[in-house]
Amino acid sequence: MSKRSSVFPIRSFSTFPALAFAAALGAPLFIADAAHADFRVCNGTQNLVGVAIGYRAEEGWTTEGWWQVPASTCATLIEGELKSRYYYLYAEDAARGGRWTGDVNMCVAENEFKIGGVQDCFARGYQRMGFKEYDTGRQGSWMVQLSDTPATQEGQN
């Protein structure tokens, strides 16, 4: 979550009571924004990246894709409070063919998809890719930063 800085220094509030009042009215908006929870992926590369996510839902394992994340932007993959501890991510660099992968095999499709189950991918007409596991520790939100340097891919709220 991004850190917000105040537009006006604290001492300005005593000088301008009207600004203090306006800031107080706007405070709930900042608090509501800070409480927003989700799973986001930020693309720190210079290329378009396609992203797929996997997770365990009430009905079982689910994989979803593709989110097209342009260079130097972020995308929300799951909106709202995270319901699982573990999430799985697979991503591909559209221009250079680079991949962010892991050891957990899950199903993906060539076009936009939502697939139930992770078994028998090929028999069901899907591809199988290795997803990287992210342990959110039951955090309400999580952010993964994709970059050209693998060591900086980890992230959290």
Condensed to tens digits (0 to 9), the pLDDT of residues 31-77 reads 334 456 789 999 999 999 999 999 998 889 999 999 999 999 999 99
Find where tokens 């559209």 sit. 94
Condensed to tens digits (0 to 9), the pLDDT of residues 120-153 reads 999 999 999 999 999 999 788 899 999 986 544 4
Asked if pLDDT for residue 7 goes beyond 60, the answer is no
**What is the structure's pLDDT at 88?**
96
Q: Judge whether 9 lies within some domain.
A: no
Q: Judge whether 69 lies within some domain.
A: yes
By residue range, what is the domain housing residue 111?
Answer: 38-152
Q: pLDDT higher for 142 or 21?
A: 142
Q: Judge whether 26 lies within some domain.
A: no
How far apart, in whole angstroms, are the C-alpha atoms of residue 1 and residue 33? 10
Q: How confident is the model at residue 29 (pLDDT cuts 50, 70, 90)?
A: very low
pTM for the structure as a whole: 0.72
**What is the structure's pLDDT at 6?**
28
Q: Judge whether 8 lies within some domain.
A: no
> What is the side-by-side strand order in the sheet with 38-43?
74-79, 38-43, 142-146
**Residue 69 corresponds to which amino acid?**
V
CA–CA distances in Å: residue 65 to residues 62, 109, 115? 10, 8, 9
Number of domains in the chain: 1
Q: Judge whether 143 lies within some domain.
A: yes
Asked if pLDDT for residue 154 goes beyond 90, the answer is no
